Amino acid sequence: MAYILIADDDEIVAETAANVLINTGHACGWVTDGLQAMKLLGWRRPDLMLLDQDMPEMTGTQVLRKIRTSASLYDLPVIMFTAKSGAEDEEQALYQGAQDYIRKPFDPKFLVWRVNQVLRARAERPRHMELREVMERESGQWQVDELSGQRSVL
């Protein structure tokens, strides 16, 4: 089970997607604009985010940019969830850092399959670390005890 945040200004689409994902065992919540999404992300980190590109207050692209430049959210899996259908839009979303792109209207089985694919790929990666921790580790400032797994800064 994963906690999934849906950010979409179309409440019918958001509720439908949430119900589909809840029926497959995931926990879901949704917000209707980018600012609400950012506020919620400051309070609780989901396992995955479905993000509409066109929303009021703050677009999905702006939210994605903030997520990718955030020290605590930089590795949050994001699937762009939008009615835009051009290949250029999809390319741009992937370039901005989205893991996947789902066009609306969506097929419920396809949505579940894509969400589960992204979650599976994420499960194979190490647990989330704050960006500061990653930088310290990569720069050789960490020492990890092989037996206990405890880490310490040199």
Query: In the chain, what are the domains?
Result: 3-123 (3.40.50.2300), 126-154 (no CATH)
Looking at residue 146, the DSSP 8-state letter turns out to be T
Is pLDDT of 145 > 70?
Answer: no
pLDDT tens digits for 20-75?
A: 999 999 999 999 999 999 999 999 999 999 999 888 889 999 999 999 999 889 99
Backbone φ, ψ for residue 133 (5° rounding): -65, -40
pTM for the predicted model, two decimal places: 0.80
User: Is residue 119 over pLDDT 90?
Assistant: yes
pLDDT tens profile 11-20: 999 999 999 9
